[in-house]
Amino acid sequence: MSTTIKARYSGGVLEPLEKLELTEGQEVTVTILSVPLSKDADFLTRTAGGWAGLIDAERLKHEVNESRLVTTRPKPRL
């Protein structure tokens, strides 16, 4: 049987990112193909300000704060 999965190297161990159909103690051969980090790895920096001018940030903050005041939990009877 042959299968290809993605794994992450962390702390000296390869951690599978998918479920493996292996039995406990089963030996396997591992072939490592290094995948370089893509340019998208820094997506957060590149998308900063992407919403600028599309929404009123102050109104959004106000609406979020207002929604936090709404309670759906019934008052406890003491």
Q: What is the mean pLDDT of each run of 10 residues along the chain (78 residues)?
A: 85 91 90 74 73 84 90 82
Let me know if residue 1 belongs to a domain. Answer: no
pTM over 0.75? The answer is no
Residue 65's domain comprises 7-30+39-69
Work out how many domains the chain is built from and give that number.
Answer: 1
**First and final C-alpha spacing in the chain:** 64
* 74 occurs within a structural domain: no
- Burial code of 62-78, b = ≥16 C-beta within 10 A, e = fewer? eeeeeeeeeeeeeeeee
